[in-house]
Amino acid sequence: MTPVDPRALRDAFGGFMTGVTVVTTRNPSGAPLGFTANSFSSVSLDPPMLLVCLGRSLSSHGIFATCTHFAVSVLAEGQEGVSNVFASFKGDRFARIAHGADANGIPVIDGAVAQFSCRRTQSISAGDHTILLGQITGFTHGDGLGLGYARGQYFSLGLERAAMVVDSTRRIVAAALVERDGHVLLEEAPGGMRPPQFEFKAPGNLRAAMEARLAGSVRLGSAYSIFDDRPTNTHYTCFLAQATQDCALEGRLVPIEDISGLTFETPAIAALCKRFALEHSTRDFTLYVGDEASGDRHEIR
């Protein structure tokens, strides 16, 4: 077998964008169990079937692999917090998250865009995972968009799309907070520092446009800030990004903890960079959507 670097393979798998689900069951004493999974896949319409892959390292692996019933809740945009609880919280996950029960008595997550109730039909051992196959016994679904996940980060297509509805008189600028080893790349503009940015003629698909401009230099992550800066008549979108080894972008690599002492091109960019420095310390990043004065923040990881 060709030797494979597991980390590189994980990165390669991470290029496949997925949704995020919470898979739930009950143990033989009736206690609820659940974990976050993006390995969910539809399998068959007739009979209706789905699958999810269980890591052998899950504390609940044995219970899921032998359960009679389980459920899959497809998380909605804005449910990053639910995903984080079911991925890493070690206490009672269900005490923290609003949930109900399906017809089989299995917990399902409130607010999910779809909930599938399943009878387990097979558990297939596959390397360090077990493929859990279920026949769908019932389901619910709504109109909302699901939470997205790619390259280790959550994304919200709905929010990004809504933010692309732009007043046509505004300049369209997209920027990236490019991070490398605790530093962020900034360029010097006449009025002060700013993240590297590009101007576009139309809002369109800014993510794809930025990926094309930055090809090879960065790995683009989630949108981090989308706002109208009215004083400069600019619609500004900023993405999180990681510099690659071959990053060819010009600018100054500034230690992230020094951001608060810098002068920035505009007050809005200053606020954005300072928020980044603050959130970087806990990695609790939020997506800001609004204008230079006020807006909403949405958790992104």
Instruction: Tell which phi-psi region holds residue 158, choosing left (phi > 0), alpha (psi between -120 and 50) or beta.
Output: alpha
Applying CB under 6 A, which of residues 70, 86, 224, 227 lies at the interface with ligand FMN?
A: 86
Q: Is 20 in the site for ligand FMN (CB under 6 A)?
A: yes
Q: How far is the CB of 23 from ligand FMN (least distance, A)?
A: 8
Question: CB of 174 within 8 A of CB of 197?
Answer: yes
Selected range binding ligand FMN among 56-64, 137-145, 249-257, 284-292, rule: CB under 6 A:
56-64
Stretch that binds ligand FMN, among 79-87, 214-222, 248-256, 269-277 (CB under 6 A): 79-87
Angle at 79 between CA 141 and CA 278, to 5 degrees: 165
CB of 154 or CB of 288, closer to ligand FMN: 154
Interaction of residue 236 with ligand FMN, rule CB under 6 A: no
166 binds ligand FMN (CB under 6 A): no
Among the residue ranges 34-42, 177-185, 207-215, 262-270, the one whose residues contact ligand FMN (CB under 6 A) = 34-42
**Is residue 38 within the footprint of ligand FMN (CB under 6 A)?**
yes
The only residue of 59, 169, 245, 282 in contact with ligand FMN, by rule CB under 6 A: 59
58 binds ligand FMN (CB under 6 A): yes
| Rounded Cα distance, 247 and 175, in Å | 15
Window 127 to 156, contacts with ligand FMN (CB under 6 A)? 149
Stretch that binds ligand FMN, among 35-43, 94-102, 119-127, 205-213 (CB under 6 A): 35-43
Which of 36, 79, 153, 222 contacts ligand FMN by CB under 6 A? 36
Shortest distance, CB of residue 9 to ligand FMN, whole angstroms? 15
Minimum CB distance to ligand FMN, residue 90 (Å): 6
Query: Per residue, what are the HEC states of the chain?
Result: CCCCCHHHHHHHHHCCCEECEEEEEECCCCCEEEEEECCCEEEEECCEEEEEEEECCCCCHHHHHHCCEEEEEECECCCHHHHHHHHHCCCCHHHHCCEEECCCCCEEECCCCEEEEEEEEEEEEECCEEEEEEEEEEEEECCCCECEEECCEEECHHHHHHCCCCCCCCEEEEEEEEEECCEEEEEEECCEEECCEEEECCCCCHHHHHHHHCCCCEEEEEEEEEEEEHHHCEEEEEEEEEECCCCCCCCEEEEHHHHHHCCECCHHHHHHHHHHHHHHHHCCCEEEEEECCCEEEEECC
Whose tokens are 């520092």? That residue is: 193
* Binding residue (CB under 6 A) for ligand FMN from 50, 51, 54, 206: 54
Q: Which is nearer to ligand FMN, 20 or 184 (CB)?
A: 20
Residues that contact ligand FMN, how many (by CB under 6 A): 16
Per CB under 6 A, does 62 bind ligand FMN? no
Q: How far is the CB of 211 from ligand FMN (least distance, A)?
A: 21
Binding segment (CB under 6 A) for ligand FMN, from list 1-9, 50-58, 172-180, 233-241: 50-58
Give the span between the Cα atoms of 158 and 99, in whole angstroms: 24
Give me the amino acid identity at 109.
I
Considering the rule CB under 6 A, would residue 70 count as an interface residue with ligand FMN? Answer: no
Interface contacts to ligand FMN, rule CB under 6 A:
20, 35-39, 53-55, 58-60, 83, 86-87, 149
